[in-house]
Each structure stands twice: as structure tokens, then as C-alpha cells.
Amino acid sequence: QKEVEQNSGPLSVPEGAIASLNCTYSDRGSQSFFWYRQYSGKSPELIMFIYSNGDKEDGRFTAQLNKASQYVSLLIRDSQPSDSATYLCAVNFPGANNLFFGTGTRLTVIP
Amino acid sequence: GAVVSQHPSWVICKSGTSVKIECRSLDFQATTMFWYRQFPKQSLMLMATSNEGSKATYEQGVEKDKFLINHASLTLSTLTVTSAHPEDSSFYICSASRGGDGYTFGSGTRLTVV
């Protein structure tokens, strides 16, 4: 069964802190992993994607992938109130051309 | 690049009527588009995969006769909610992929059936 698991939160961090968002997935053969941000009432927007084990950095965002543990995370450094949103982890499972989404983690950055 | 336009952004319709939602890839050709539905405080649920020039593939539990999908060109897919009922009220989002580097979402359509 194809599953993507996320802690629904809410996760609250003070402004300037590091927010850590976690995601696990069911299929060890998965190759593509995506993090989306969704503001209330809006559609998801892509933050970054990762394919290889290790870290991938883009500005204040770092995605971390550990395929052996079937775990992918997103770190947000220097969190800002504008980062307050729901963060969706998505996985492209083998044999499927669509994305499977977790339920999302709601992040609140407190000024 | 990779812009997906979805229209309308919101619509209110009477129960029993039909509503058509359009999804266009503006700067790339999308052989495959995806239609999702999202209820409040829930994640995106894939409804169907729309393939250009062929019939859509529906997920289990999604009524193909109620949610009509047409993908007549490489840049346009439409979702028609037929005989809409209040329980069809939801946020409908389309998505398209250029391949390789992610899936771009349309801005979504908020459907309210009264």
C-alpha cells in the first residue's frame, strides 16, 4: 500500500529558529520526493525536490533524504512568520506517474 | 516557466447543475494532467489522471460519469462536475508535469454547491 506519513502538527517555532518537518514513505523503491507549501485557501507551491540520498540546500530550505530509512525531511532556517503554512510531502512511487501526498504538517512561526 | 492556469478560481452553483473547470499549461505541453480534490483540513486526494487523446484513468471510488474529464489537447484538460450536489463542494486542483523536476499546480477552484 502506498503511504506517505507526516505529523499533522501544529508545529510552532519562534521567528528566527529552525523548523524541522518530517515525512516517511512506504515504498523503498521510490525515487522522487517533493516538498510543497500550501497557504490556506491556495494551491500547493513547490519548494524543492530531492532524488539522491543526503542533503539538498536552496536558500533557507534544506531537504534531507535517507532512502534506507525511507525518510525525507525539510529544514527551514531563520523561520519567518511568512513561512506559516501547511507543508506537504509528496512521493512519486514506482510505477505511478502521479504524486502521493501526506496529510501535511501545519507550521506556525511566532513573531 | 511551468505555469498552469486554472479557471474559474471559484464558482457557486445550484444543486443539480453542472460545472466545468479548465486547466491549461501555458508554457509547456502536458501529455498528462492530474485532478485532485481537497476537503477542508485534509490532504490532496487524486481523483483522476488525464491523458491527452485518451480516456482518463479514475481512482477507486471516483465516479467517472459524475466527474467528466476531457484532455483534448496537450495544453488543456477540463473537469466537469455533473449534477453537482452539496457534498461535491470542495477545492479542486489540477496539476501537470513537464517531467523530471516536479509537478506544477493550478491555482485551484473553490466549488460551492447550494
Binning pLDDT at 50, 70 and 90, where does residue B32 land? confident
Closest residue on chain B to A89 (Cα): B43
Say what the pLDDT of residue B88 is.
Answer: 96
C-alpha B62/C-alpha B89 separation (Å) is 15
C-alpha A32/C-alpha A51 separation (Å) is 5
pLDDT tens, residue by residue, A10-23: 999 999 999 999 99
Binning pLDDT at 50, 70 and 90, where does residue A7 land? confident
Q: Does B7 touch chain A (CB under 8 A)?
A: no
Strands B32-38 and B90-97: antiparallel
B93 has pLDDT over 70: yes
Burial category of A64 from C-beta neighbours within 10 Å (exposed 0-12, middle 13-18, buried 19 and up): middle
Mutate to test the interface with B, among A36, A38, A42, A43 (most CBs of B within 10 A): A43
Phi–psi pair at B49, nearest 5 degrees? -110, 125
Mutate to test the interface with A, among B39, B42, B44 (most CBs of A within 10 A): B44
Q: Does A93 touch chain B (CB under 8 A)?
A: no
Show Cβ contacts of residue A57 under 8 Å, excluding neighbours closer than 6 positions.
none
Residues 39-68 of A with CB under 8 A from B: 41-46, 49
Burial category of B87 from C-beta neighbours within 10 Å (exposed 0-12, middle 13-18, buried 19 and up): exposed
pLDDT tens, residue by residue, A37-75: 999 999 999 999 999 999 999 999 999 999 999 999 999
Chain A residues in contact with B107 (beta carbon < 8 A): 42-43
Say what the pLDDT of residue B1 is.
Answer: 67
Binning pLDDT at 50, 70 and 90, where does residue B53 land? confident
Say what the pLDDT of residue B95 is.
Answer: 94
